[in-house]
Amino acid sequence: MAEVKIAAEPRTEFGKGAARRVRRANQVPAVIYGHGADPKHVSIPGHELLLALRTPNVLISLEIGGKSELVIPKAVTRDPLKGFLEHVDLLSVKRGEKVTVEIPVATEGELAPGGNLLEHVLAALPVEAEATHIPEGVTVSVEGLEAGASILAKDIELPKGTTLAVDEDAVVIQVVAAQVEAEETGEEGAEGEEAAVAVEGESEEAAEA
């Protein structure tokens, strides 16, 4: 994984008002945690940070006051309506250090015919990896899988140096039967019942006449 270098500035003002002023300057307020040290408050250029965060678990080399510090994102807060970055929590890491992160799981291939659906039980896979070699994600094949099939954590091939940080028998992906046909059958049955009631009503009216 390549490092992304970004210049950051220390923050000495806190609170909502100070955070708004930082964002108006096209910066993002951030806090760096880790290694038992006191949290460090910094501001980071918004555009550069946004580009960096497009890579999951990106390794960022922050340049702060002439010193470099390696960090990875731990929590990102966005505006619920406009989507811009409001705040970021960062974890300080060292080369050779193991960290636990979640990586995305992508799929490839086509399921067996029959309109079955793919369900991601785990949105991301928890793994342990060296801080400077965190995989961006993994890809698993679902080619030909039928309803009832599942892919467990232990079935996923991980990059060298990466290990599972979750029960190996945890279900990551499963194939479920589509419910469309059953729903359509139910609707047709309901329409048939309505038609039968209408006919019975008409028959009773004819008998009374």
Q: Which pLDDT tens digit goes with each residue over 118-161?
A: 999 998 999 999 999 999 999 999 999 999 999 999 999 999 99
Is residue 175 over pLDDT 90? yes
Is residue 13 over pLDDT 50? yes
Is residue 64 over pLDDT 70? yes
CATH fold of 99-178, please? RNA Polymerase Alpha Subunit; Chain A, domain 2 (2.170.120)
CATH fold of 3-93, please? Ribosomal Protein L25; Chain P (2.40.240)
Highest mean pLDDT among 76-85, 123-132, 194-203: 123-132
In angstroms, rounded to a whole number, what is the distance separating the alpha carbons of residues 208 and 195?
A: 20
- Confidence label for 188 from pLDDT (cuts 50, 70 and 90): low
Are the C-beta atoms of 112 and 144 separated by less than 8 Å?
yes
Query: Got the DSSP string for 40-104?
Result: EEEEEEHHHHHHHTTSTT-EEEEEETTEEEEEEEEEEEE-TTT--EEEEEEEE--TT-EEEEEEE
Q: What pLDDT is recorded for position 159?
A: 92
Percent helix, percent strand, percent coil in the chain, to nearest 5? 25, 40, 35
Query: Which pair of structure tokens corresponds to residue 169?
Result: 């028998």
pTM value? 0.74
Q: What pLDDT is recorded for position 89?
A: 96
